[in-house]
Amino acid sequence: MNPKMLKGALLLRRNLIVLLISFIFFNNILFSLPFFNLWFASPVQYIIGLPLHQFTTFMMSLLVYAGFVAQSLTSSKFRKEFEQRELVGGIKKIHEESRQNAKILKRKLEYSAQARLDNVMREADEIVHSFMTGDRNYLKVRTVQQALKLTSAYVKLADMFRIRSLASGNERISQLAKRINTNSSNLNTVRDSGVASELKKVIEADERMIESLKNEKLELERIDARLQYMESTLGMLKYNVISNLESEDFLNNLETEVIEADALNSVLNDHYEERREGQRLRF
C-alpha cells in the first residue's frame, strides 16, 4: 500500500469528522443506555491506564473511523483525487525547484543571458498556469512534466555555459599569441641552447593552449546552439499546451530532447571536473 495514500485517507476531512462525531456519539448518547450502564458496573474499571468508559469510547470510535478509512482506500473517486493531488504537487515542486535554481543563476549572468533566462522561465510559468487552470488529460500531463524537465535541464546547461565561458575568450587567445610572437623573436636571437630549449617548450605549451581554447570556443558555440533550440522548443510547448494541441509524436520528440539535454549536461560536467582535476594535479 502506498504510505502517502494511507496518510491521505487518515487525514481526509470526512474521515476526521466521522471520528469526532463517533466519539461524541458514543461518549454522550450510546453509553446512557441501560446495557452500557451494566457494562461499566464491571469490576474492571481501567484498561491500559484509561477509565473503562473512555477506553471503550475511544476503541469504538476508532473502529468506525477505520471502517471509513478502509472505504476511502477502496474508493475509485478517492484514488483519482489522490493521484491528481500528487500529480499537481509533483509538478509544482519541479517548477519551484527550477525557479529557485534560475534565481540563483540569474545573479551570475550578464544582461543578455539574464534576458534569455527570464524568457524561458516566463514560458514555464505560463505552461504551468495553463495546466493548473485548464483541462487535463494524459498527453497534457506528460507534456507539462517533460516541459518542466526541459526547463530544469536548460538552467543547468546555462550554468555550465557560464562557467566554461569564464575560462575561455578571445582575450586569452590574443595574449597567448602575443607571447608566442615575442618568444619566437627571442628564439631567433638567443645563443644559449638551454634558454632556447626552454623558450621552445613555452611556445609549444602556448600553442597547445590556443588550440584547446579554440576547441573550447567551438564547443561553447554548440552549447549555445542547443540552448537556443531548447528556448524555441519551450516556446512551441507553451503554444501547444495553451491551445490543447498536444500529440503523441511531439511528446516522444520532447522526451528524446530531454534525455539528450540531460546526457549533454552530464558529459559537460564530467569533462569540466576532469579538467579541474588535471589543473590541480599540474600545480
181-190 pLDDT per residue, tens: 887 887 777 7
Best CA proximity match to 242, nearest among 131, 101, 79, 145: 131
The lowest-confidence range among 63-72, 189-198, 200-209, 216-225 is 189-198
**Percentage with pLDDT > 70 across the chain:** 85
For 171-189, what is the mean pLDDT? Answer: 80
Q: Which of 33-37, 63-67, 140-144 has the lowest mean pLDDT?
A: 33-37
Provide the terminal-to-terminal Cα distance of the chain, rounded to the nearest Å. Answer: 56
pLDDT of residue 165: 80
pLDDT tens figures, 19-64 = 888 888 877 765 565 555 545 545 545 445 555 567 777 888 888 9
- Residue 20 CA to residue 14 CA, distance in Å, equals 10
Mean pLDDT, range 112-121, rounded to an integer: 93
User: Residue 61 in contact with residue 19, Cβ under 8 Å?
Assistant: yes
Q: Between helices 248-282 and 193-242, what is the axis angle to 10°?
A: 160
Least confident of 85-89, 139-143, 186-190: 186-190
For residue 51, list its beta bridge partners. 46
Confidence of residue 282 (pLDDT cuts 50, 70, 90): very low
Tally the C-alpha atoms within 13 A of residue 201's C-alpha that lie toward its C-beta: 6
d(CA 261, CA 104): 20
For residue 283, the model assigns a pLDDT of: 43
Taking the C-alpha atoms of residue 246 and residue 134, their distance in angstroms, rounded to an integer, is 13
- Residue 118: pLDDT band (50, 70, 90) is very high
Query: Is residue 120's pLDDT more than 90?
Result: yes
**pLDDT for residue 10:** 85
Tell me the percentage of the chain whose pLDDT exceeds 90.
Answer: 18
Average confidence (pLDDT) over 214-233: 87
For the chain, the average pLDDT equals 81
Domain boundaries, the chain: 3-74, 83-282
Per-residue pLDDT at 213:
77
> What mean pLDDT comes out for the span 82-96?
86
Cα 195 from Cα 201, distance rounded (Å): 10
